[in-house]
Amino acid sequence: MLKEVIATRYITPLREGGSLPGLVEADDLGTYVMKFTGAGQGRKTLVAEVVCGELARRLGFRVPRLVTIGLDPVLGLGEPDQQVQELLRSSGGSNLGMDFLSGALGFDSLAFSVSPEEAGRILWFDALVNNVDRSWRNPNLLMWQGEVWLIDHGATMIWHHNWPGAETSAARPYDATDHALAPFAPDVAAAAAALAPLVTEELLAEVTAEIPDVWLTDEPGFETPDDLRRAYARPLVARAASVHDSVQGIEGTR
Ligand SMILES: Nc1ncnc2c1ncn2[C@@H]1O[C@H](COP(=O)(O)OP(=O)(O)OP(=O)(O)O)[C@@H](O)[C@H]1O
Ligand SMILES: [Mg+2]
């Protein structure tokens, strides 16, 4: 399970984020970007952040450390912004936090360069988890201390919105036409050769064990949180070996 901290102060909303993530201080004196269970798509977005973030980390990508943040809705009472107040009020209990990378810059393909090797690794990973939110319009990559960091994995694994159709949905190709790193000659084949063998049932068991039980209860068709954990693992293990063949929209990969 992820480390748990308790929110002690709401600092400010991060206005760029569609889901209105906020900056908070916690009882360990850390500063975290907090994503709320009460926001838009709710807890499935947070589960996706945990599965993809913790998988990416174990595959060697740089991802801010994830924690769960306990929130007492009382913290919202003094908030002047009504939207923020409602978000805090509806998000009591466990929320997601990630280390705030102070001073990080948003990735800009005109200002930064990425090697074909690194572009290939990131693009392959995005194909694996079906990330539709790493486009040149909204790369969800940060430059921090001279390196690329991966954030925002909420819009991935579309199949978890319809479990009965998950197998069919997970078999669909990945369209990389608009991917933020498509212009960097991504070597997807090399990434697949290096990373696919690492995506095993054992690794996914470790990754899905990080998801808090409270975000896995009451899912129709699943009796226990562990049943649902296995459902998250299955399409990823199944896709790993061949997903590079289904990447569309970048030259030289087919
Ligand atoms: N760990 C972090 N450290 C520093 N800045 C961050 C971090 N996480 C997010 N941000 C900043 O906050 C913005 C919004 O975060 P994020 O993309 O995760 O939220 P979101 O609501 O899912 O956004 P959207 O759906 O609009 O892409 C990021 O674009 C980035 O500028
Ligand atoms: Mg984002």
CA-nearest of 239, 238, 236 to 206 is 236
Burial class (CB in 10 A: 0-12, 13-18, 19+), 78: exposed
pLDDT of amino acid 252: 54
Distance 168 CA to ligand 1 centre (A): 31
Higher pLDDT, residue 136 or 19: 136
**Which residue, among 134, 137, 133, 151, has the nearest Cα to 53 in the 3D structure?**
151
Report the pLDDT value the prediction gives residue 254, as an integer from 0 to 100: 40
Sequence-distant (6+) residues with CB within 8 A of 176 are 123, 126, 127, 182, 186, 247, 248, 249, 250
Taking Cα atoms as reference points, which of 4, 61, 1, 53 lies closest to residue 32?
4
Ligand 1 center to 241 CA (angstroms): 30
Closest ligand to the CA of 40: 1
Mean pLDDT of 118-130: 98
Average model confidence (pLDDT) for the chain? 95
Q: Distance from the CA of 221 to the center of ligand 2, in angstroms?
A: 31
Q: Mind listing the pLDDT tens digit for each residue in 203-218?
A: 999 999 999 999 999 9
Span between the terminal Cα atoms of the chain, in Å: 39
SS3 helix, strand, coil % of the chain, rounded to 5? 40, 20, 40
CA of 73 to the centre of ligand 2 (A): 25
Q: 56-106, pLDDT tens digit by residue?
A: 999 999 999 999 999 999 988 888 899 899 999 999 999 999 999 999 999
Ligand nearest the Cα of residue 21 is 1
Q: What mean pLDDT is predicted for residues 150-163?
A: 97
For the Cβ of 23 lying below 6 angstroms from any atom of ligand 1, the answer is no
Q: For ligand 1, is residue 187 a contact (CB within 6 Å)?
A: no
| One-letter identity of residue 15 | R
Give the span between the Cα atoms of 15 and 23, in whole angstroms.
Answer: 10
pLDDT digits (tens, 9 = 90+) for 223-251: 999 999 999 999 999 999 999 999 999 87
Residue 87: which of 76, 96, 102, 95 has the closest Cα? 76
Which segment of 17-21, 145-149, 194-198 scores lowest on mean pLDDT?
17-21
Tell the residue nearest (CA) to atom 4 of ligand 1: 101
pLDDT at 221: 96
CB atoms within 10 A of CB 211: 24
Cα–Cα dist 115/120, whole Å: 8
Residue 253: its pLDDT value, please?
Answer: 46
